Amino acid sequence: MMHVVIYQPVIPPNTGNIARQCVGMGARLHLVGPYEIDMSSKAVRRAGLDYWEHLELKEHETPEAFLDWLGDRDVWLVSKFGKLRYDRVGYKAGDVLVFGNEIKGLPSAWRERWEDRMVYIPMLGEIRSFNLANAAAMVMGEAWSTAGLYEGGIDKSD
């Protein structure tokens, strides 16, 4: 299992799409607060998130609470400021993939703390950034493949 973290998410559809990806890939989703997304059962039902009951979700009320949980786990921050290409690192089961929010990204203190653990996604076209959910899907797919986590999953190639 891997852990996927969104730091103070602000756009509900991105959080929903990443949650779906986590369910499909057997990952635990961590949301670092504070954030204003309504995660109540009523809001989830209204949004039609029929997979939500299968999501392994851990909510951290503050960045400090998340850091306490993180401890000495291996972490990879995904940032346009990264020095390592996301597809050229050695991910393994248990790693923690951290994504910033859609407006402010990740806190500078975190980028400084894990400067050597920041990955980036190359952008060949004229865009400012990838959508958060799309970036998460790219990195998660690469991380799962590198870590060998697809073994034992549903193989529909036959």
Residue 155 has pLDDT above 50, yes or no: no
User: Residue type for 53, please?
Assistant: E
Residue 85, domain CATH: 3.40.1280.10
Identify the H or E element spanning 139.
helix 132-147
Judge whether residue 59 has pLDDT over 80: yes
Q: Report if residue 118 sits inside a domain.
A: yes
Res 136 pLDDT > 60? yes
Confidence of residue 153 (pLDDT cuts 50, 70, 90): low
Residue 93 lies in a domain: yes
Q: Where residue 37 falls among pLDDT bands split at 50, 70, 90?
A: confident
- Is 84 inside a domain boundary? yes
Q: What distance in Å separates the CA atoms of residue 55 and residue 52, rounded to the nearest whole number?
A: 5
Asked whether residue 154 is domain-assigned, the answer is no
The model's pTM:
0.92
pLDDT value at position 40? 76
Token couple for 57: 């979700």
Domain of 64, in residue numbers: 3-147
Q: CA–CA separation, 58 vs 52, rounded Å?
A: 13
Summary count for the chain: helices (H), strands (E)? 5, 7
Helix/strand/coil (H, E, C) string of 24-80? Answer: HHCCEEEEECCCCCCCCHHHHHHCCCCCHHHCEEEEECCHHHHHHHHCCCCEEEECC
Give a yes or no: residue 156 inside a domain.
Answer: no
Predicted local confidence at residue 94, as pLDDT: 96
CA 59 to chain centre: 13
Per-residue pLDDT band for 156 (boundaries 50, 70, 90) equals very low
**What average pLDDT does the chain have?**
91
In this predicted structure, the answer to whether residue 151 has a pLDDT above a threshold of 80 is: no
**pLDDT value of residue 29:** 97
Report the pLDDT value the prediction gives residue 21, as an integer from 0 to 100: 95
| Any domain includes 76 | yes
Does 157 map to a domain?
Answer: no
Number of domains, the chain: 1
Residues 117-136: what's their mean pLDDT? 93
- Looking at residue 107, its pLDDT comes to 97
Q: Is 158 among the domain residues?
A: no
